[in-house]
Each structure stands twice: as C-alpha cells, then as structure tokens.
Amino acid sequence: MHTQSVAQLIAGLRERQFSSVEVTRTYLDRIAALDSQYNSFISVDETAAMAAAAQADARIAAGNAAALTGIPIAHKDIFCTDGLRTSCGSRMLDNFVPPYDGTVIQHFKAAGAVLLGKTNMDEFAMGSSNESSFYGPVRNPWDTRLVPGGSSGGSAAAVAALLAPAATGTDTGGSIRQPAAFCGITGLKPTYGRVSRLGMVAFASSLDQAGPMAHSAQDCALLLNAMAGHDPLDSTSSTTSTEDYCQNLGNSLAGLRIGLPREYFGEGLDSATGACIDSALKELEAQGATLVPVSLPHSALTIPTYYIIAPAEASTNLSRFDGVRYGYRCDKPVDLHDLYTRTRQEGFGDEVKRRILVGTYALSAGYYDAYYKKAQQIRRLIKQDFMDCFAQVDVIAGPTTPGPAFALGAKSNDPIAMYLEDVYTLAVNLAGLPGMSVPAGFVDGKPVGLQLIGRHFDEARLLNVAHRLQQATDWHLRRPESATLATGASSNASAKGSATGEQA
Ligand code: GLN
C-alpha cells in the first residue's frame, strides 16, 4: 500500500480495495518503525490521525467523498494546526499549540485528507540542509550520511522514504525544490499569492509560498487542486482564478519553447549533474519541445539580493517572538529587557540569529538606502530578465541545484557555501514565479533534479511538462533501498543512521 501514488490510493479507496484506516495505519507503523533513521517527523498524533481516517471511511461509505478523502498527508511543521504543536523547527515554538488551522490545513481537511503528522525543517525555514532544526538534522533516505536539503527536508525525506504518500512544504528561496531534488521527488513552488500564507509561520513575507511535494507531477497536481485559491484573510493572496491542475497533464509538448539560461549551465554546475539535466532536456525535445538559448543577465546578483531582502523581512517578522505572548519564555526574567534578550538568546539558534542581525543592519536608518532599497531595485531587474525571456519561450529549464546532496556537516560551518546552494532557485522567488523540481537522474546513486520555471500562474503548464517527462522516464519511480525494507527490519538501518549522521 505504501508504494502507491496518491492517484492510486484515491482510486483504491473509492473502489474499497482498502480503507483509509488501513492506509493510515500502514503509514503510522512505517513512521514508528523507520523514522528513527531519518528524523523526518517532529510530531505525530496517532489518535487524531486514526480518528480522521475512520471519519474519512464513513464519508466514503456514505458516498460523499471529496477529492482527497482518506489520503494521509504530512505537513511541514510551519503550518498552524489546531491543537497540535507547530514548532517551525525552533525551540522558540517548541511549546506552541495553535488554537486554529492555517488555511492550507483547512483546505486539506475540507478535501478529506488525513493529517498524518508534522515534518522536520530548518529552524524558521532558514537553511538548505535541514541541519538548523532544534529537533536535530534530517537524514537523506538515499544515503543517511547525506543531508536531505532544506528547509522542507523532513517533508522530502518522509515522501522519499515512503513514510507519507505526499507532503506540503514551503519555499522562500528554494525550500521545496532543493530538498525535492536531493531526495528524488517532485516538488512545486506555486506563483507567489497562489496559495494562502495565513497560518503559515512567516519567514520572508514577500517570498514565502507553500506547495506540494510528492513522487509525481500528477500527485502534485492533485494536492495543488486542494491548496490553491484566494483567501480573503491573506491580503497578498491572489484573486486570479484557479483551474483543475490535472486537466492539462496529458497535453502534447509539440511546439513548446523551453528556454535554457546560459547562466544556469556555466561555471559552478557539477558536470555529472549537468549531463543528467541534458538528457532530461533531450527527452523533452524528443517529445516535440524546442530548446532555445536565453539569458538571465542579472543572475549573479540573486544571492546578494536575496540575502538582504529575506533577512530584512525575517528580522521584522521574528520580532514578535519576545517571550510575552506565546512561545518560549526564559526562566525568571529580572526585568523586561532581560525577558526580551534572554528569551531570544535562548530560543533562537545560530542561523536565525545571523539572519536577524543581518536584516536589522540592512534596515537600519543609515543603511536602508544602500542595502534594502538597492536590493529591491535589483529585484526588479531580476524579474524583468524573466519577463524578457518569457516573451520568447513558454518555460525556462535548468538544474535545481549545482550538484547532488552533500554530506551532513560539510557546509554547516560555512554559511556562504550553504547560501551558494540556492543559486538557481532564489531568483524564482524574487520574481514571484512558479517553479518545479522534477527527478532527472542520479549521480553516484544520488538523485538530481531538473528545474522548470513558468510564467506567473502557469502551474498547469509546468505540471504538464513534468508529467510528460515522467511518462517517458522512470527516475521518479526509483526508491531508496532503505525505504523498501520491511518495517520489521528497521533496527539495523537505524543503527547505521545514527552512527553516520551525527558528525555535524
Ligand atoms: N535556503 C534558503 C534560505 O536559507 C531558502 C530557504 C527557504 O526557501 N525557506 O533562506
């Protein structure tokens, strides 16, 4: 059962081949038996999950199933869940139990999905390796000595290890696409504003966007159908109408123009990774697409621009964590100043503090024009580069990351090396565009992702291209060896994971 896609599970539930109680039990058992080697979940509420599964079965029996009724979905621990801890990977929110569901969670509940658990993540979604979590690093199911990518690393690892059929993630600068690439799954960051941010802990409000992570483009489309839509309670949510994201999946690629930005294939791209991307592109060409060389001339400025804007927004968003209203509070503060400073000193980890310092500096009166305002101007140029390309092509393609997953600990003491991981993903967020990562082969047994970037609100086309690629290739169907072990055989694998994973 755990090897089935979301689409197959939906069909199997409808045809009464199995019940949601059976499916949900299977995944809960796998999490209990296997997750010690990956650390992909932070919270699992078995009782609530089983109750939701029983309700789903009743709904199916009564003949009024919704789109995802009975399907267990794991959610990144950034989404507020009513009555279930939402930590955002931080000590600051370790004790935070929201009194409401975020809009994404509400949408999944309305679609009948079962909330399987909350997945591990980099603290406040800041990171590219899932090593900054208060709950410890997540390990890559393809090789537990490697990082799964971040910040949605728990969601990516859980799906890759078959501990959940699909999951949600969020992407501020690559956090859906990069872990999807590193874990060999499919992930979609929708257009900014396509999915509500209400009840999603804010990192950088002008960049944050939630999206689906699953094995296939088809499963991502099924999840996006539930997630997308206008939310009157989120002023940045778009009123552009949604569509059925499954309806174009089978369309032919004949006549499709795919732009290949020169800047995404040059120095810095691992050559074996580049070869995988080339062969995936050849497959798209064989299906009738035309490959067109294009240029994104301001690409070199995306990392510095992002690492001014994202920390600036983070520094203001995270000012709410003051020990007064909710979250962590230091022990016995002597006065108000001590309460603020010690709460924040003890509640936040190093990477979060680094971002708050950089962001506060960039926004300070004397430096605002030189840093923040300048970064906003360059952001505009970066967006214009994409608009110019989309006058010539329908989709832009390239690698998701410069290379495959790296070893735990390899970059954790070098923030700049870590930031370079995002070189191909950040610009998509700065421009507000939709982007996907699609499995495109392996380098020494490590998965590699093809990135597809679309025009604003052109998610259906991206999903179509990815689906057609997946009809012709089997990269998205490969599974890590550790995930195919029977649940009873987990103890060896788990010892291996802890022996190799803690050197960070
Ligand atoms: N790795 C990037 C960062 O650390 C992006 C994170 C994200 O998309 N949430 O900011």
- Structural domains in the chain plus CATH codes: 6-298+380-484 (3.90.1300.10)
Determine the 3-state secondary structure of 283 from DSSP. Answer: helix
Ligand 1 midpoint to CA 53 (Å)? 33
Q: Are strands 395-399 and 446-454 parallel, antiparallel or unpaired?
A: antiparallel
d(CA 203, CA 205): 6
How large is the average pLDDT for residues 335-361? 97
Return the percentage of the chain with pLDDT > 70, whole number: 96
The CB density around residue 345, as the number of other CB atoms within 10 Å, is 10
Range 248-282 burial, b when 16+ CB lie within 10 A, else e:
bbeeebeebebbbbebbeeeebeeebbebbbebbe
Which residues have C-beta within 8 Å of that of residue 458, sequence separation ≥ 6? Answer: 191, 394, 395, 434
pLDDT confidence band for 482 (50 / 70 / 90): confident
Q: Is the pLDDT of residue 292 over 60?
A: yes
Q: Is the pLDDT of residue 296 over 50?
A: yes
Cα within 13 Å of Cα(281), Cβ side:
24
The CB density around residue 387, as the number of other CB atoms within 10 Å, is 12
Q: Is the pLDDT of residue 448 over 60?
A: yes
In 175-219, where do the E strands start and end? 186-189, 210-214
Q: Is the pLDDT of residue 45 over 70?
A: yes
Q: Whose CA is closest to 156, among 145, 168, 146, 144?
A: 168
Atom of ligand 1 nearest to the CA of 171: 8
pTM for the full predicted model = 0.95
Identify the sign of the CA torsion 197, 202, 208, 209. Answer: negative
The CB density around residue 95, as the number of other CB atoms within 10 Å, is 12
Q: What is the pLDDT of residue 487?
A: 60
| Interval 88-125: pLDDT, tens | 999 999 999 999 999 999 999 999 999 999 999 999 99
The residue whose CA is least distant from atom 10 of ligand 1 is: 126
Please indicate whether residue 153, judged by its CB atom, sits closer than 6 Å to ligand 1: no
The residue whose CA is least distant from atom 4 of ligand 1 is: 127
Ligand 1 midpoint to CA 173 (Å)? 5
Please indicate whether residue 155, judged by its CB atom, sits closer than 6 Å to ligand 1: no
Kindly state the tokens that stand for 121. Answer: 């993540």
Q: What is the pLDDT of residue 484?
A: 81
Ligand 1 midpoint to CA 201 (Å)? 14
Give me the active site residues, please. Answer: 76, 151, 175
- CA-atom Rg of the chain in angstroms: 21
